[in-house]
Structure 1
Amino acid sequence: MEEPRHRIRALHTASTITVYQAYAPDIGLPAAREGRFPAAWKRDRMTWIKPSFLWMMYRCGWGAKTGQETVLAVEITRDGFEWALRHSCLSHYVRGLHPDRGTWQRQVKRAPARVQWDPERDLHLRTLPYRSLQLGLSGEAVRRYADEWIVSISDVTPLAHEIHALVRDRDLDSATRLLPRESPYPSGDDLLAHLGG
């Protein structure tokens, strides 16, 4: 079955969804240990969460990029995730989706969350012909994320390194078996209609 151009693919349960972030060890390790972000984590800046494990691997270079050496799997409530989607705006103007550029500019300034649809990646981190969600949280959304939505935080850096080693050894079957089991997120038409999904 052909993939739709825009779809949220994620590891999810009836009540939670797992998103990924990567940080320097001084942020990532305490977050995983305590199950919440440490005081050094900046609440006053936008934080981007990614439901796609392989897109996160592309972004952080399998946990090898400076400042992104600790890869976190953050399990959050679906209620919180869907609140962010309902209160989000696309990070770029789309003719036909937005009434005009000025309206979009006002929406993006007001919205506590932003959505980008980025090309999904394969095990070699090459682009695929369909896109996955990246969700930027700021202001009220960051506070809710840090204080209300988080169920658990896990350090998945060893998993990232293990999968990367298998890819380097050309053992793609074993690498695929270790990937988080992401499936289409049941978002419904109303949840993504204003986001081009």
Structure 2
Amino acid sequence: MLTSLYSDQSTNWPASGRYILAQFTPTTITVYQAYNRFIASYAVQHQTLGGPDFSLTRMTWIKPNFAWMMYRSAWATSKNQEHILAIELQRTVWDEMLLHGVVSSYGQSRAFANQEEWNAELKNSKIRIQWDPDHSLKGGKLKRRAIQVGIKHEWMENYLEGIVRIEDITEFVREQGKLVEGGLLDAVMTPTETIYEVSDAIKTRLGMDMDEEAGDD
């Protein structure tokens, strides 16, 4: 995992709009999930998600944006989110999930002719896309939107098959969390993230071609 000073790289990110900020290579993208120690231990040992404590039937949410994951898990201190997994996923699988996903709120995308069409697709879709406010290291809400992707059923199987590597980065997270808590924000290191470019079809599907205020809650 490549890391950089958050204070340096955040100045290069868009202040508003819907963007996928992520760490990626020509073939993989890193996404994050937070679990308890039992699920995390199994995942690292077996390099897949599973085991007696993991549910394959419920919707699983994955996030490519590190800062948003830190906000959601309170820097790995929230209950059942004490361990942060960095999961390298094949980009082909990630892109397919985006292309088949349905935004969680009507009006966030021009891909649907009307609300009835959106409702029907959302009801039948196994992939849900949410654009949530991104957050600063201290948890402050930003104008920029961060993506999270919820998957279930056959797409969960596709996701597991697309996993290249799983790493438990909890120790790193806690070290950086202590710096944040101590107000040493200029010293905080985070995974190096840049804008992940997608096809025009995905941009339209996910409303990335719309003004950031359109359809936002």
Which TM-score tier does this pair reach, normalised by the shorter chain? over 0.9
> Residue 20 of structure 1 aligns with which residue?
32
Between the aligned partners of 2:164 and 2:114, the Cα distance in structure 1 is: 39
Question: Where do 5+ consecutive residues of structure 2 fail to align?
Answer: 1-11, 209-217
For the 8 Å contact 2:102–2:206, the answer to whether it is kept is yes
Correspondence 1:33 to 2:37: no
Between the aligned partners of 2:199 and 2:15, the Cα distance in structure 1 is: 16
TM-superposed CA distance for 1:196, in Å, is: 0.6
Task: Describe the superposition over 1:10-63 as per-residue Cα deviations: whole angstroms up to 9, x where unpaired.
Answer: 010000000001011111111022211123221111100000111011111111
Runs of 4+ off more than 3 Å: 1-4
> Residue 123 of structure 1 aligns with which residue?
137
TM-superposed CA distance for 1:188, in Å, is: 2.8
- TM-score in terms of structure 2 length: 0.85
Correspondence 1:9 to 2:25: no
Say how many residue pairs are matched.
Answer: 194
Q: Per the alignment, in what secondary structure is the counterpart of residue 132 of structure 1?
A: strand
> Residue 211 of structure 2 aligns with which residue?
none
For the 8 Å contact 1:85–1:192, the answer to whether it is kept is no
For the 8 Å contact 1:52–1:132, the answer to whether it is kept is yes
Aligned-residue Cα RMSD (Å) equals 1.5
TM-superposed CA distance for 1:191, in Å, is: 1.6
1:21-170 aligned within 5 A = 21-40=33-52, 41-94=54-107, 97=110, 98-146=112-160, 148-170=161-183
Q: Per the alignment, in what secondary structure is the counterpart of residue 17 of structure 2?
A: coil
TM-superposed CA distance for 1:96, in Å, is: 7.0
Between the aligned partners of 1:96 and 1:150, the Cα distance in structure 2 is: 28
Question: Where do 5+ consecutive residues of structure 1 fail to align?
Answer: none
Between the aligned partners of 2:108 and 2:185, the Cα distance in structure 1 is: 40
> Residue 6 of structure 2 aligns with which residue?
none
Q: Per the alignment, in what secondary structure is the counterpart of residue 99 of structure 1?
A: coil
Residues 14, 64 of structure 1: alpha-carbon distance in 2 compared, 3 angstrom cutoff = same
Between the aligned partners of 2:186 and 2:16, the Cα distance in structure 1 is: 25
TM-superposed CA distance for 1:92, in Å, is: 1.5
- TM-score in terms of structure 1 length: 0.93
